[in-house]
Amino acid sequence: MSKNVIDVTDETFETEVLQSDRPVVVDFWAPWCGPCRMMAPVIESAAAALDGKVKFAKVNTDQNVDHAMNFGVRAIPTMIVFSDGKEADRIVGFVPQAELLSKLRRHSEAADGAAKGNA
C-alpha cells in the first residue's frame, strides 16, 4: 500500500468514503484474486497521477464483507467511484490504466466544476 491508496474497513467506510469531500475510488479486492493483483499497480499509478483530486481506497472483501454486500459486489476486482456519498460509476474486472484514468478524470473534473460553482 502506498501513501496514495488507503485501506478501508467496514468500520471506516462511512468516514473515509461516504463523507469524503472529493470523489473516492474504492477497489473491492481479495488477496487470492489474480486480476485484483494485476489491477493493484494500475490503481497505484492512477492514484499517483490524480493525487489530491481523487481519493483511492481498497477494501479487502475477505475481511470486510458488509459494504461489499451492501453495494452488490458480485465479482472482484470491482472499483466503485463514489461522489458526494453516492455511487457514481462502477468498473468490474481488469481495465488498462488509460481507460481507468479517462473515467476517473471525468469524475475529478465534475467535482472540480461543482466545487467552483459553490465557491
In a domain, 107, yes or no: yes
pLDDT at 4: 87
Task: Name the residues annotated as catalytic.
Answer: 33, 36
Q: Which domain holds residue 12?
A: 5-114
Nearest to 14 by CA among 74, 46, 59, 78: 59
Predicted confidence at residue 53, as pLDDT, reads 87
- The residue among 29, 32, 49, 34 whose CA lies nearest residue 101 is 49
Phi, psi of 99, deg, nearest 5:
-65, -45
Per-10-residue mean pLDDT, the chain, length 119: 84 95 95 95 93 92 93 95 93 92 81 57
How many structural domains does the chain have? 1
Where helices occur in 21-96 by DSSP H, the ranges are 34-49, 65-70
Domain membership of residue 119 (yes or no) is no
The pLDDT, as a whole number, for residue 85 is 92
Q: Which of 18, 11, 15 is nearest to 86 (CA)?
A: 18
pLDDT score at 2:
61
